Structure 1
Amino acid sequence: MSRKQMVRPGGRSARVQAAVHSAVRELLTEVGRDALTVPLVAQRAEVTPSTIYRRWGDLAELLSDVAVERLRPDGAPADHGDLRADLTAWAEQFLDEMASPSGRAYTRDALLGDPDGSNAGQCSAYAAEQLDAILTRATDRGEPAPDVETTMDRVVAPLMYRILFRPSGLDATYAQRLVTDLLDTPGADRT
């Protein structure tokens, strides 16, 4: 079994993961990323460095694992009564969280320590699950709604590109415009 397959361990493994993740978050705040080392994390988590190397491979993969967990949404997206309001609120919140210094740092960490692409896939799945909840709710109310992939391509992808590569001038108005363009485009993939 590879390290990546141990996403939700139980028992002792879960306690080790929780202790190591907590140690990483605390040490990032206390000493910063440049001073962070596996032995320092191990000491704080009260495990051996070999435990960390065996489970995560190296510091980059450990930081990636911590980042993916931190990028997991806390709950279902809010219901504002209609698709436009739900999707706009979600896009604004997504932009606010992901464009923050910590959001960009977690995104970079998630991608840097991800040799097989599974962490990027998990982060993408988080967004897709949130959008699916919004779009399903709209469909259940009788509203026409685009599909998840179209919404990912037309809202999430441009947001992430701008967050990572062109963050200047990025604000809620941009997120609102993406939603408006998606929902107001004639012939858009809508059910």
Structure 2
Amino acid sequence: MVRPGGRSARVQEAVHAAVRELEAESGREALTVPQIAARAGVTPSTIYRRWGDLRELLSDVAVERLRPEVPPENRGGLEADLEAWAEQFLDEMSSPPGRAYIRDALLGDPDGSNAGQCSAYAADQIDVILGRAAERGEPVPDVERVLDGVVAPMMYRILFRPGLLDPAYARRLVDDLLG
């Protein structure tokens, strides 16, 4: 069992910080496990034992970077809240860094747990929006319907058809969902 805030958390924090720093200094292509380990103050075997390889480490770092930092904006109504969130989500995920994080999160994810965590981040944000709308007495779809109607089409386009990714597209998906 891993203790929150224990040595394991400190190692993860140091290694993640080392990846971010080295990536900013030298670029992603120059990253190596020994280089990251030296910067983080751990042995390469610590990284290999915990993450397996560089790809899995980069995947773990990407998932952490994809974690939302703030709750979704409250604009006072379900449609306005979902549209604002969808526009921000699309903007962040379709940006060059967002695409790189998505790619890294998926490439080093042999069991699908990182993809599941990314999905959980979106579901949690949507759940907050739907919870606020329900408290206001608005009818709300379930989280899965929003994921299927808004998030899934955006992710498909981000990954496979990157044209026409603008705020109007995000709003149209929300409008279609809410009918």
> Which residue identity lines up with residue 127 of structure 1 in the other structure?
A
Q: Please list every run of at least 4 consecutive aligned residues from structure 1 whose deviation after the TM superposition is greater than 3 angstroms.
A: none
2:55 to 53, 60, 64: 60
Partner AA of 2:161 in structure 1? R
Counterpart pick for 2:141 among 132, 139, 146? 146
TM-score normalised over the length of structure 1: 0.91
Superposed CA offset, 1:145-164 (max 9, x none): 11100000000000001111
Is 2:66 the partner of 1:71?
yes
| 1:14-47 C-alpha deviation (Å, 9 max, x unpaired) | 1111110000011111111111110010111111
Paired AA for residue 102 in structure 2? T
The answer to whether the aligner puts 1:21 opposite 2:19 as a matched pair is: no
- Cα deviation, 1:32-67, whole Å, max 9, x if unaligned, reads 111111001011111110110011110011001001
1:80 to 2:75 alignment: yes
- Gap runs ≥5 in structure 2: none
- Asked if 1:121 corresponds to 2:132, the answer is no
Cα separation, 1, equivalents of 2:163 and 2:59: 25
Q: Distance in 2 between matches of 1:134 and 1:98?
A: 19
The residue that corresponds to 2:25 in the other structure is 30
Identity of aligned residues (%): 76
Q: CA deviation at 1:140?
A: 1.0
2 CA distance for matches of 1:13 and 1:131?
31
Secondary structure of the equivalent of 2:30?
Answer: coil
The aligned residue for residue 109 of structure 1 is 104
Q: In structure 1, list runs of 5 or more residues that go unmatched.
A: 185-191
| RMSD of aligned Cα (Å) | 1.2
Q: After TM superposition, give the deviation of residue 169 of structure 1 in Å.
A: 2.0
- The DSSP-based 3-state class of the residue aligned with 1:121 is helix
CA separation in 2, counterparts of 1:9 and 1:64? 21
Tell me which residue corresponds to 2:94: 99
- Residue 9 of structure 1: how far off its partner (Å): 4.1
Cα distance in structure 1, aligned partners of 2:73 and 2:104: 28
Q: Does 1:50 align with 2:45?
A: yes
**Structure 1 counterpart of 2:109, one-letter code:** D
Question: What amino acid sits opposite 1:13 in the alignment?
Answer: S
In structure 1, the residue matched to 2:158 is 163
SS at match of 1:79: coil
Deviates more, 1:27-36 or 1:87-96: 27-36
The CA deviation at 1:142 is 0.6
SS in 2 for 1:34: helix
